[in-house]
Amino acid sequence: MTNMLAILGFIGTQEVIIIAIIVLLLFGGKKIPELMRGIGKGIRSFKEGMDDVKSEIEKPIDQDRKDAEQK
């Protein structure tokens, strides 16, 4: 995992441009917006799932605090 992050740290402007050109050639100009929309929906769904998990974890903790305050 650390090796992958180190590799990403060395990506410069030229590499990003080359990657963008390759993506444009592979998918074409019409498919890229659809691809980005799909990625955006996936990220949004992931964040909503994380929020649900966080709320499920915090519910019992908040309930225990309320119970302790009532006593």
With a CB cutoff of 8 Å and minimum separation 6, the contacts of 35 are 27
Angle at 41 (CA atoms; ends 40, 47), nearest 5 degrees = 90
Task: State mean pLDDT over 12-38.
Answer: 87
pTM of the model: 0.54
> Is residue 45's pLDDT more than 90?
yes
Domain that holds residue 60: 2-70
> Is residue 40's pLDDT more than 70?
yes
> Is residue 54's pLDDT more than 80?
yes
Cβ neighbours of 19 (radius 10 Å): 11
Total of domains in the chain: 1
CA 53, 59, 64, 69 dihedral sign is positive
Q: Are the CB atoms for 32 and 23 separated by under 8 Å?
A: yes
